Amino acid sequence: MTILDRDLASIQEVRTLVKQAKIAQTKLVGLSQTALDDAVEGISKIAYENAEALAKLANQETGFGKWEDKKAKNVLASKTLWQYMKDMKTVGVIHEDHERKVYQIATPMGVIAGLIPSTNPTSTVIYKSLIALKAGNSIVFSPHPSALKCISETVRVLREACYLNGLPEDLINCISMPTMEATDALMKHDDISMILATGGSAMVKAAYSSGTPALGVGPGNVPAYIERSADIEDAVEKIFRSKGFDYGTVCASEQSIVTEKCIEQKVREAVVRNGGYFLRGEELEKVKRVMERPNGGMNPKIVGRSAHYIAEMAGITIPAHVKLLVSDEPGIGPKHPFSKEKLTQLLGFYVVENWHEACETCFALLENGGLGHSLSIHSKDDAIIREFAMKKPVSRFLVNTPSTHGAVGLSTGLAPSFTLGCGTVGGSATGDNVTPLHLINTRWMAYGLEESKTTSASKLPNQDEIEMICKMVLEQLNR
């Protein structure tokens, strides 16, 4: 009966939070782009100032990753994100085509539901809050229970930042009693306009089947192909830097190295020099036994953990300098655990004859749980790079860069994001790095071209008149 009461209480809390968020969101209607941007910039600065404290809290509560890297993710989600999106037009007329007499008008979606994972809890809350606010929306979070404390603290910081910057605190709300029933009620609430789902496959599927529009991301099983023309030492160093970032908790981290037989020995030597340890015999079998649950799913106890932590769990001894545990996996599929996504310091290793076979191997790895997400290549051969880019079913094709850093926008020009779309091939509604532009509705205002031929330009509305019309329409819609 106690569990039932908690479930009912959590559902009631969701209803209250959504109602508060809906009322708060109406206060954004009518704000100019400048006024909204000034407030969001102020909030992003406060999030940035708290990046380290929130990172340490997340690390302490979940045990995942490294606080230094979690701080870097918080900085990406605040300062870097703001620099990227500060000049985006998200209010009123955002594009004008005077020749065709077409005007694009942005309107907010309303209340967003944000589902937050335990692997990247604080950074994902900051990121989703800022893109929601930049688009004129409010947001209600459903936190992962194992990261409730750090998620709640991040929300508290952001709510206070809203107040200090002249916005209603209820623009950002968070469930305090996370239950499956509460998350389900949030996703299906009539006043939720969009779901931003970041988490496991089951959560994302639930979001898409809720009946509410959703942007979700699938799992990543990123192959890193080292082609024969690559700078091998540079490639391996970048793979290790990427895989070691927050101990592999970002879904865009490399899961397997694929390389060619003609450079195999040099790649192996570089792997060992960078802290790789090739598991063999009984050591490999012991690690495989702790990698997965009996049903074949990833064991959550190894997620975001160091190589030494995993080795201790498995009951093996490894040298002190080791950073990654590597396995020559003989196949790809359910019976080969190193061929799957491993959000930790474990890496598969594959050797092929040439780039054609590498193409097939990478495709098979993607089919084994990473379709639509990301693929990494290290090569100096532009023809092969282009061939891979044209044929691989991924949304991010990352060239000569750490996959983790490249995918989230740390080392590339991609949009800073912690919601990495996987396209329809990966079961997602978008293949983009999600930004505020994914959280606005677009209204198109178009003049008849036949009338415009006989109408002088002076009779067409100017920018100020269009803005006034948009404001009046928005006010009517929100009454």
CA proximity to 329, closest of 340, 318, 313, 342: 340
CA proximity to 349, closest of 221, 228, 241, 223: 223
Residues 6+ apart with CB under 8 A from 437: 88, 90, 135
CA 381 to chain centre: 30
Q: How far apart are CA 276 and CA 212, in angstroms?
A: 45
| 174 is annotated as an active-site residue | no
Q: Which residue has the tokens 């160091």?
A: 306
Phi, psi for 210 (deg, rounded to 5):
-75, -20
- Using left for φ > 0, alpha for ψ between -120 and 50, and beta otherwise, residue 143 falls in beta
CA proximity to 25, closest of 125, 168, 158: 168
The catalytic position among 162, 251, 362, 422 is 251
Q: How far apart are CA 421 and CA 408, in angstroms?
A: 11
CA proximity to 123, closest of 88, 147, 95: 147
C-alpha distance from residue 136 to each of 25, 46, 82, 209 (Å): 7, 19, 15, 26
Query: Which amino acids are annotated catalytic?
Result: 251
